[in-house]
């Protein structure tokens, strides 16, 4: 009966976005989040209240008329203590240093209207990496019983009394096989070699307490490449359904019962146009020719409206090859003739590190954060240095290398530079000989020397 009802609800909602009418905020554990009030709403006689789902607890209040701004951060056992900031201009509420205990629905009440926010607190792990879900026990007591479950399926259990430590890694089609490690001292659970199908809600139960972990699997991908978001479902059954959403908007779904397959690539300014492929057997979604606009959280709903899981796509730009150039002053400045100043540079990059290597050892490096900027990194080498230097640009999934050819970029003034008299004599001599080719050769040699300073050297890259 309940199932029937869900189906009906689902059918009605199938083509709608924002199913639950709340703005969803996804935030990493330890980060901050700002819940925005509608700035156009804040008037002089405003009353604003912020409430948290648990017993509809009042956590912050603004009374513009009395010029009163109050945060109640001692409520609920102090879980908000020193974590709330109320913007007295806009009424927005910032929660800092988020923990799992801050997850849930927040309600903004402003002049008898209300706005809902769903805060999803996540721990994030890169595909193939390991993550430890910390039980927060330093040591277990002798009669402790601990249970770990994933989306309501038991996956690990500790019974200290009978000294039993069990992982059930064959459940759910074996998606946890050889991937679970239970710490028999603390009860913490480590997931190794994480796959996309392990994204979701983990629950730890110790006696009467429980702790939720919302695991999001991060998948790094390069601009222009393709990625398949794979929930690792074995074949979908006759009454299964599933949906993929991007930032809250439905982009693809399967409703087996009525044999409906939906791919909506026209939504969200068409950023998915001709780029989506939905596998109707497995429900996996392939996105081709990825662009920066595909960075974000992909939400997967399978067979239940009570929970969903997220895969986070991080798109990295293709890397340019770094350029090494000479930064030596011209030969005319006679000083410091034994070393050569070089600079390695790249323009318009973000999330990268630029480094100088001597052989395989790192000499120096510089990083760019999320802003698109230009980077340059200097290096001093001896003219006679026979070492192999290289300049490497890398982001978390790829790198580009430029090898330094010292003989091309660095040359001593004493050896190569010729005084003005010598130059005149040469010219006069060649004129006397009257052979055009000689002039050409000299000209060629001199211009090559001049260009040497700017020369680009041979290049190799890899992705």
What is the contact surface with ligand NAG in residues (CB under 6 A)?
Answer: 67, 69, 88, 97, 99, 111-112, 163, 165, 184, 193, 195, 289, 291, 317, 327, 341, 343, 348, 372, 376, 378
Residues constituting the chain: 463
Radius of gyration of the chain (CA): 31
Q: Which is nearer to ligand NAG, 10 or 35 (CB)?
A: 35
Burial classification of residue 96, based on how many CB atoms lie within 10 Å of its CB (0-12 exposed, 13-18 middle, 19 or more buried): middle
Q: How far apart are CA 346 and CA 399, in angstroms?
A: 13
Q: What ranges in 26-138 are assigned the alpha helix state H?
A: 75-78
Q: Which is nearer to ligand NAG, 13 or 323 (CB)?
A: 323
Q: Which is nearer to ligand NAG, 109 or 205 (CB)?
A: 109
Q: How far apart are CA 459 and CA 69, in angstroms?
A: 61
Nearest approach in angstroms of CB 341 to ligand NAG is 6
DSSP reduced 3-state for 363: strand
Q: Which is nearer to ligand NAG, 61 or 257 (CB)?
A: 61
What lies within 8 Å, CB to CB, of 227 at 6+ separation is 219, 221, 286, 287, 290, 313
Nearest approach in angstroms of CB 68 to ligand NAG is 9
Q: Which is nearer to ligand NAG, 226 or 306 (CB)?
A: 226
Q: Contacts by 81-88 with C-beta closer than 8 Å and gap 24+?
A: 84/59, 84/60, 86/50, 86/60, 86/62, 88/62
Nearest approach in angstroms of CB 348 to ligand NAG is 4
Nearest approach in angstroms of CB 41 to ligand NAG is 11
Q: Which helix H or strand E contains 118, and what residues bound it?
A: strand 113-126
Give residue for tokens 């011209």. 330
Q: Which is nearer to ligand NAG, 10 or 60 (CB)?
A: 60
| Bridge partners for 368 per DSSP | 352
What's the farthest any 2 CA atoms get from each other in the chain?
A: 108
Residues 213, 202 contacting (CB under 8 angstroms):
yes
Nearest approach in angstroms of CB 326 to ligand NAG is 9
Nearest approach in angstroms of CB 376 to ligand NAG is 5
Q: Contacts by 27-30 with C-beta closer than 8 Å and gap 24+?
A: 27/98, 27/119, 27/120, 27/121, 27/122, 28/98, 28/121, 28/122, 28/123, 28/124, 29/98, 29/99, 29/100, 29/121, 29/122, 29/123, 30/97, 30/98, 30/99
- What is the CA 286 to chain-centroid distance, rounded? 19
Q: Which is nearer to ligand NAG, 126 or 426 (CB)?
A: 126
Q: Which is nearer to ligand NAG, 226 or 459 (CB)?
A: 226
Q: Which is nearer to ligand NAG, 218 or 430 (CB)?
A: 218
Nearest approach in angstroms of CB 276 to ligand NAG is 13
Query: How are strands ordered across the β-sheet holding 84-86?
Result: 33-35, 93-95, 84-86
Nearest approach in angstroms of CB 112 to ligand NAG is 4
Residues 413, 334 contacting (CB under 8 angstroms):
yes
Give residue for tokens 């662009």. 291
Nearest approach in angstroms of CB 317 to ligand NAG is 6
Instruction: Say what angle helices 420-433 and 436-452 make with each other, to 10 degrees.
Output: 150
Q: Which is nearer to ligand NAG, 79 or 426 (CB)?
A: 79
Q: Which is nearer to ligand NAG, 84 or 442 (CB)?
A: 84
Nearest approach in angstroms of CB 29 to ligand NAG is 9
Nearest approach in angstroms of CB 220 to ligand NAG is 16
């Amino acid at each position: 009966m309940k199932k029937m009802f869900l189906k009906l609800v689902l059918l009605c909602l199938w083509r709608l976005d924002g199913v639950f009418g709340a703005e969803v905020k996804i935030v990493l554990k330890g980060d901050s989040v700002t819940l925005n009030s509608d700035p156009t709403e804040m008037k002089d006689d405003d009353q604003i209240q912020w409430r948290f789902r648990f017993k509809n607890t009042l956590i912050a209040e603004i009374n513009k008329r009395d010029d009163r701004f109050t945060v109640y951060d001692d409520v609920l056992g102090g879980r908000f203590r020193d974590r709330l900031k109320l913007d007295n201009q806009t009424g927005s509420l910032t929660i800092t240093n988020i923990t799992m205990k801050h997850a849930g629905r927040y309600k903004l009440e402003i002049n008898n209207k209300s706005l809902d926010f769903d805060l999803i607190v996540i721990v994030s792990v890169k595909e193939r990496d390991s993550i430890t879900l910390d039980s927060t026990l330093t040591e277990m007591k002798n009669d402790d019983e601990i249970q770990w479950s994933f989306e309501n399926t038991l996956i690990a259990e500790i019974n200290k009394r009978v000294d039993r430590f069990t992982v059930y890694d064959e459940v759910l089609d074996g998606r946890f096989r050889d991937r679970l490690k239970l710490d028999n001292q603390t009860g913490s659970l480590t997931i190794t070699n994480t796959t996309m199908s392990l994204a979701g809600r983990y629950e730890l139960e110790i006696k009467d307490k429980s702790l939720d972990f919302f695991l999001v699997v991060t998948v790094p991908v390069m601009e222009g490449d393709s990625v398949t978001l794979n929930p690792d479902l074995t074949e979908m059954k006759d009454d299964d359904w599933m949906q993929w959403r991007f930032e809250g908007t439905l982009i693809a779904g399967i409703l087996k019962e009525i044999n409906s397959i939906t791919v909506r690539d026209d939504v969200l300014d068409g950023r998915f146009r001709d780029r989506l492929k939905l596998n109707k057997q497995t429900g996996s979604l392939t996105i081709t020719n990825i662009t920066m606009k595909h960075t974000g959280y992909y939400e997967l709903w399978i067979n239940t409206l009570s929970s969903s899981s997220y895969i986070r796509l991080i798109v990295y730009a293709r890397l340019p090859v770094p350029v090494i150039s000479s930064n030596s002053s011209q030969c005319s400045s006679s000083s410091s003739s034994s070393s050569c100043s070089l600079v390695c540079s790249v323009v318009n990059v973000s999330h990268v590190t630029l480094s100088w290597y001597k052989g395989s050892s790192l000499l120096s490096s510089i990083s760019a954060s999320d802003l698109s900027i230009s980077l340059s990194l200097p290096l001093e080498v001896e003219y006679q240095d026979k070492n192999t230097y290289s300049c490497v640009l890398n982001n978390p999934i790829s790198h580009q290398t430029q090898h330094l050819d010292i003989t091309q970029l660095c040359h001593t003034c004493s050896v190569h530079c010729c005084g003005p008299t010598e130059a005149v004599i040469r010219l006069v001599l060649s004129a006397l000989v009257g052979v055009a080719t000689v002039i050409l050769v000299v000209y060629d040699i001199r211009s090559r020397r001049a260009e040497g300073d700017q020369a680009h050297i041979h290049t190799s890259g890899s992705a």
